Amino acid sequence: MPFTTRRMLSALLLPAGLIAGLVVAPGAANAAGVSATVQVAATLKVRNAPSQSAKIVGSVRKNQKVTISCVITGQRVAGTVRTTTAWDRIGTDRYISHAYVKSSGKIPRCAGKPAATKPAVKYVVGTVKSASGAVTLRAAASAKAATAGKLASGAKVDLVCSVTGDMVKGTVRSTAQWDRTRSGGYVPNAYIYSGKLPACPAPVKPAPAPAVKLTPEQFIKAAAPGAQAGWREYGVPASVTLAQAILESGWGRSDLSATSNNYFGIKCQDGKYGKLANGCRTVRTQECTKAGKCFETSAAFRTYASQAHSFRDHGSFLKVNSRYDGAFAYTKDANKFIMKVWKAGYATDPNYYTKVTGLMAKYDLYQYDTWK
Report the catalytic residues: 287, 313
Neighbours of 319 (CB within 10 A): 17
> Which residues neighbour 64 within 8 Å (Cβ) at sequence distance 6 or greater?
37, 38, 209
Which residue type sits at 280?
C
The number of C-alpha atoms within 13 Å of 38 and in the hemisphere containing its C-beta is 24
Which residue type sits at 330?
Y
Which residue type sits at 156?
K
CA angle 355, 361, 363 (to 5 degrees): 100
> Which residues neighbour 84 within 8 Å (Cβ) at sequence distance 6 or greater?
14, 22, 76, 77, 97, 98, 99
User: Is 318 within 8 Å of 264 (Cβ atoms)?
Assistant: no
Rounded to whole angstroms, the Cα distance separating 353 from 333 reads 14
Rounded to whole angstroms, the Cα distance separating 167 from 189 reads 10
Q: Which of 300, 269, 305 is nearest to 146 (CA)?
A: 305
